[in-house]
Amino acid sequence: MTHLLTLVVVGAVIGVTAERIAERTMPYRWIGAIAAGLLGAWLMTDGLHIAIAPQLMVAGMPLLSAILGAIIVVSMWGIVTRNGSFGYRHARTR
C-alpha cells in the first residue's frame, strides 16, 4: 500500500512538471496529471524501452525518462483534443 501511494505521489509530481513544461493541461486536474505521469513513465520505460543512464530513480521509476514520457503524453493530448475541446469548435453567437 505504501508503494502504491508513493507511485501516485511521484506520478503527480511528474505529471504536473510535464504540464508546466509543455504549457498544456490535462483534464480532471490532479487525476489527469497523475495519469499523465504514470502513463509517461510506462511509455518510456516499458513501451518504448528507452533508457537514459544514469538517472535518479524514485520508487522504481526513472525520473528523467518519466518526465520526458509525460511531456509526450501531455503534448499529444493537447494536439489530439485541441486543448480539451475534442476538436469541436463552438459556434459563435453574434
Distances (CA, A) of 36 to 12, 16, 93, 94: 8, 9, 35, 38
Tell me if the bond preceding 54 is cis, omega within 30° of 0. yes
Q: Which of 29, 22, 1, 27 is nearest to 12 (CA)?
A: 29
Report pLDDT digits (tens) over 34-68. 999 999 888 888 888 777 778 888 888 888 888 99
- Burial (CB count <10 Å: 0-12, 13-18, 19+), residue 49: exposed
Q: What is the pTM of this model?
A: 0.78
Q: Is the pLDDT of residue 8 over 50?
A: yes
DSSP class of residue 46?
Answer: I
Cell reading at 30: 490532479
The three-state secondary structure class of 57 is strand
Q: Is the pLDDT of residue 85 over 60?
A: no
pLDDT for the residue numbered 26: 86
pLDDT for the residue numbered 24: 85
